[in-house]
Chains A and B, each alone.
Chain A
């Protein structure tokens, strides 16, 4: 069953076509990797899927709703209710502790629940560091807090833009294991990456080049 469908979307900045007539289809529960050289339009596409930006042309159907036509207020609602975001640069509120940062997502979504937030941190192996400020955490730890924050509201779709770009091997594996778990639980995952190993963990890889879909590769080894 289809969760997301990009139909002929383009994003144009003046002369530059960041995205050029892209067609992508993602099923519910699927784990998809997006690859491509720098500047190929990966983040641009993720922002559009994440309801933070709109395409210049085309339709974006999320759960059957064309989000390209919604008001920004409605987009905020959809983003809050359905999507968990992990960013390329790990963004945290720098004056709030790790657990508070997770609770911020709960706060905007529904009700802050410290116990649940601590459990999410435990899931990414950060139980001990829950009450540290971002400045007291390493890059890998911060990115794991961001992952915990993304999954705290049990979103249907997790969008991760280079979640492991700044991580070492150990941290990368922690995050990938977590993604595998989420996948098992039925969450749809779209992960942008430069790293073939990360891409190999997904069911399917879509490669972008110059704003177009260059090719799609089904991962034969998935689950093995």
Chain B
């Protein structure tokens, strides 16, 4: 890999040939992905979507005892105050003392754009350190400093010498990539370059010298795993993951969201790194494998019956726990079957369209199929090689299933919904209202307080989907009284009219 020595990680268009524009059949998508040619697709009309800075913020703002500095004009990162209501309960539910979110904007103005913004950033870092004495100072840089050429790495490494907080520079200028998931690499890159990921030599006369303790330590390590958590899964989901892994005799630590900067020093005291989303963690688990020889699993997301099973078996295989895993899976599935019966009859044959994150939509589609629904379309925020196997599984028997790769792009969504007319829409936050305007009930694709993951997640999703379908009065009256902002003849065209090849 070897990107770790570079200041900036490459964008995913380059590193993974990832794309964010496609419309067509599933088989064409996978074929295109394997041929590496999807990356050339573009749009000649688009709507505002998101940028990697936003996704980076969603990760770093969860880190306790840190101050986040948004280096840019004041608008970038402006909606982060909504993270406060996610961050504070997230802290307390994990046993921390809830504090208000700390973040500062360097507020670049016209004269800074001309003269450079480094001095303001320097002032912000020093002030943050003095006023708050944080464990870490995270510098998130936006488009403007990227274009005017502020050298935040030089500045932060110079300042690090006289500042006690760890400074973590993160390059996440929105314009640099169309694939906002590049943010995950950018954040992990910053963490790997700036935080201590191992406990430096222990004090003389410490525990290491004692042979028995050493054995004990090794044993604990062999039973400890790291689970890399993601923004869209809340504590409820983490608890389900913990429950399943504990049943296999494992201790679980969660990184990087909500992990204290000092906690990262224990990161390598684990036998395995476990991803819950292949498109989230590949960059980081590879670094940890290269540097410290820790193996990882990265194939799947534990959502739905089959994928939870595959995910558990992947882990078990690495740790020689296969028979334990199989027993657990059988028991869980048996219990779940009984509980699902009622909902299956309600959900049977319901036509569903799923829209959101690349991997999440595919596994959620499979979950809905397991409940008896018919999946009539999938929309992914972006697409890359990590989708290939999972999408093959998800569309098996229906290679012609219509797939749209689009980061938001409501005009394409609405056009598709008008044509497909599903009974239920399962969408990323920000999209469900547009389905409702067509009278289609919607189940959020994720919602942190609720459970979606593991066997409990299957039950919870079934229960909520059944409830949502039961009374659609809101959507019906709503759709009768509002209009969509698109011209009538747009619906006569293919939803993919503005996807171009260039």
Q: Do chains A and B interact in one complex? A: no
List the interface of chain A (C-beta within 8 A of B): none
List the interface of chain B (C-beta within 8 A of A): none
